[in-house]
Amino acid sequence: MKQMLVRNIDDEIAKRFKAKAQAEGKSAEQVLRDLITRYAGPTRSQVIAEIDALRKRIGPVPGDSTDLIREDRDNDEPYR
């Protein structure tokens, strides 16, 4: 795992950041890890390209799933 160091953060900003993280039941480090992970994630165009590649691999799906969706939606049984 890599480590990152962020310098020159205003004291008041750091204080508010830590307080907000604590209010959410998280550490400031965990919030930063979450933010960095989300920021470094794939772009919208990359996600669309992955979806298109998956659709191409799978090919067309025959039939109409409307009845299956309605059956599942209207089913009163607890989830298995």
Which pLDDT belongs to residue 38?
A: 94
More confident residue, 51 or 75: 51
Among residues 13, 38, 40, which one has the least CA distance to residue 28? 13
Using one digit for the tens of pLDDT, what is the confidence trace for 4-32? 999 999 999 999 999 999 999 999 999 99
The Cα–Cα gap between 50 and 71 comes to: 30
Which pLDDT belongs to residue 80?
A: 57
Using one digit for the tens of pLDDT, what is the confidence trace for 34-50? 999 999 999 999 999 99
The Cα–Cα gap between 34 and 32 comes to: 5
More confident residue, 16 or 62: 16
